[in-house]
A and B are shown apart, each in its own frame.
Chain A
Amino acid sequence: MLERRSALAAHPLVNPANRADLSTAGTVRVTLSERPTLSILQVSAFAQTADAAGIYLAGALELELPAANRFSGDLRKSVRAIGPGIWQIVGDDGAVPEAAAIRATLAGVATVVDLSHARAAFQVSGAAAARTLAKHCGLDLYTPKFPTGSATNTRFGHIGMTLARIDDAPTFELLVFRGYAEFVFESLVEAAEEFGLLILT
């Protein structure tokens, strides 16, 4: 397996010395962090095989199959239903099976693509996390419409992202195209600054 690297490795704000002016003297309402070592597999079934693929997949992962735009599991290993017959398996290296193993399990019913190196993952957490994201995302992110356990594809500015709400802090997890990682990180910093931002890197 290729070594996982932070998508922000070259970004100056990753060094705390370079963000002294992002002072957290006031109340921290948003915490921002990157999760550089996620394993992400995308499973796409055919229209005729989506039901079978879902059953095999849930069995292989030992997780319940989530309803549309929901996830099951936890941070260590989760499966997200992001389209009809389309799931993303997201979690820690080691907890998420190898792509080849899932591919063998789903042979003939679904394709499996390893996106681990194609995405960057961010967590935005805290009382003002939804207000921060609302500057770049048109979804209603408040509890009744987007409760913990939600996971969906939507927009961040002009790019697509997979957004999940993983706890009641609330903490949102963003998966974005890795080439846009610095753009997303800087946009989040700028959006969160007025609420009191703590960057964890």
Chain B
Amino acid sequence: MDFTIPKSHQLFRKMVREFATQEIAPRTRQVDRQGWPDMELVHKLGEHGLLGIPFPQEYGGAGLGELGYCILMEEVGAVCTSTAAIIGAHIGIGVMAIYLGGNAEQKRRFLPDLCAGKKLAAFCLTEPNAGSDAAAIQTRAVRDGDRWILSGSKIYITNGPIADVLTVLAVTDPALGARGGVTAFIVEKGMPGLSVGTIEHKLGIRGSATSEIILDEVAVPSANVIGQVGAGFITFMQTLDTGRLGLGAACLGGATTALDMMCRYAAGRMQFGRPLADKQAIQWLIADTATEIEALRALVYRTAWMVDTHQPFTREAAICKLFGSEVASRAINRALQVHGALGYSCAFPLERMWRDARIAEIFEGTNEIQRIVIAEQAMRPYGVRVRP
């Protein structure tokens, strides 16, 4: 057993940390205030190769694998959850759906521009009547010669308003449902009938853009079907597995920042003539947070290793997402408590971090859904089918 991170990935972490400190951190407050991404920053991410980290170099990626992707998400998550969400929706699920499910020709056609950030991706699954119950989607795709006509609407789509390439799940055979009747498509900005609907105003990750996506008889060529007709549900679920791991890594970054802030403040803040850090009540908050972070770190990087060594990881990715989002929320909540009024004040980053952290318990499958996935995996050997 060897836990050493390869030298190349250590150097990559240094590079991302420097980039995050110099380019992302100074904009974190502004993007939250303006409630919209800083497009200059998004372009910079692409320019510096950060939007194609896990993908092979033959498709324009960096070739740093899932380990590299987790390092990226941890370091970005440590300074800006909104930016981590933009990257997560792009790499973790948007492009990932094409990479995992697409054929070589599609990868050659789409990945280079997506990896270079010349184009941005979004992942379109959720609908008004299909949230946790993803199989209940109603967006229809009807074959018309060598093209498909897509109609329906998707909601809460991260990067929706700024995306150029959208991976969309639609029903191709209502009789078959999720088992063979659902297909994934690559929809491109500019296709007639595709439009951006209502833009969401959100509690947190306000520096990412979330919107409705309207498909009004959008004609999509058959060449844009991801994988086989009818295989879309499996592709999307596999994609969410890797997405969840990256989300867990971003939570690790956020939790680590919270711990750092907590320790720093406890060491300096004097009350009752002594630093806060002298109080056991505060020490225990710090100890619990440090313990949970250590467990999360081990979990995230071991799961990344499982992905890179081609082992099944559905259960582990669900655990990373569930545990990671709860660890981050707890860590930030504790840090806010340790800072007292300063934590609650908009003059300080903690209130934003607190709002931002909440999303990780909801998107890419709520934590209830993660528990169902984990229970299903745990109960299977006992002959019990866990159903949502």
A and B: interacting chains: no
